[in-house]
Structure 1
């Protein structure tokens, strides 16, 4: 099965479990709040891979015009319940359904890590394309190269797939996509392990 189908079907099947397990509290929410506070009120922000809207969509929507995109219909349904003012749409990170220069900022938590790593350059190029000049980026990437499937993720009996590079390759890809990296912060993940949060400007 194609990796996108694995991810889509997996997140559809475990939507309720996932939203209970990933609370999005602590540092992840703080990073979203810091981004929100740094933008002029009413900025247009894309949450690429928004899941159920926690924590980025709901945090950013308090002061900004937020668009949430996800590959999972069930996750989007939960996001609609949590953040009714957000504009939500199904879509793929590597082919974003938005015009160039559409957003003042883009946040993507735990999403590119599910895309085949050979396509990460395409995803980052899409992020660059839809951001306005000097637009802000916050994206979660791996702290070590990893590629695997788990056929009983979160004890649900459902399969999930991951594919990502380590820090050196990630920095190269972000820079080559046209971003100026401002900061990289390693954050403990509530579901285990650690991830790097890149802050950058288009």
Structure 2
């Protein structure tokens, strides 16, 4: 099957910038207590030992944090270069290459799904398909956590870190994303929006939703 253009461009972008990206955002959770609080709340809702997939895991920093909270977590990403970093830094965790839109996971096999700034390259018309896939792999009562930039206009990253690549980072209004999740069959649990940190341009949104029992 031919890979969709947006998947190819996303994979190529992150394969190219992986090492620089991982270094630039190495301490992002350390300096973001609200972000950590959302991950903590998600972990408590899932329950210790719950099977969780960190989809679009990048260099695996969130994967490792969820592991430290007692979850049975694995990571998945499009980018082989990002996965190489994740495996190098977290040799005890499992990371696999693949697309969030076509998960090689059984129906109802997970207690939790995390999409931490990983839906931001998925076109809006593909979101219903993406959310249906999230719902499929969750067991009844399982939880989804999403993080993304709040807004209406995309941010184009052109030649980041001096590399000859370009990619749009899509911003979305949390209310609109929540409506799509509800339409997919999720029940909203929490919606949090924080103001931008000094290094950020826009507000950051976090949604927790549950697959009904």
Residue 51 (structure 2) pairs with residue 44 (structure 1): yes
Structure 1 distance, partners of 2:74, 2:59, is 13
Counterparts in 2 of 1:1-202, with a 5 A limit? 2-22=5-25, 23-25=27-29, 26=32, 27-54=34-61, 56-62=62-68, 63-147=70-154, 149-187=156-194, 188=196, 190-202=199-211
Per the TM alignment, residue 29 of structure 1 is displaced from its structure 2 partner at its CA by 2.7
Local SS of the residue matching 1:144? coil
CA contact (8 A) 1:180 1:200 kept: yes
Structure 1 distance, partners of 2:83, 2:201, is 24
Structure 1 distance, partners of 2:162, 2:202, is 17
CA contact (8 A) 1:44 1:65 kept: yes
CA contact (8 A) 2:174 2:191 kept: no
Which range is displaced more, 155-164 or 135-144? 155-164
Q: CA RMSD in A?
A: 2.0
**Alpha-carbon displacement from aligned partner over 1:132-190 (angstroms, at most 9, x marks no partner):** 10101101244222346432235544312233542332121011111111111113365
CA contact (8 A) 2:117 2:149 kept: no
CA contact (8 A) 2:45 2:143 kept: no
Structure 2 distance, partners of 1:155, 1:28, is 29
Question: Residues 114, 81 of structure 1: CA spacing in aligned structure 2 closer, same or farther, 3 A cutoff?
Answer: same
Local SS of the residue matching 2:100? coil
In structure 1, stretches of 5+ residues that fail to align are none
**Length, aligned pairs only:** 201
Which range is displaced more, 190-199 or 80-89? 190-199
* TM-score normalised per structure 1: 0.90
Local SS of the residue matching 1:113? coil
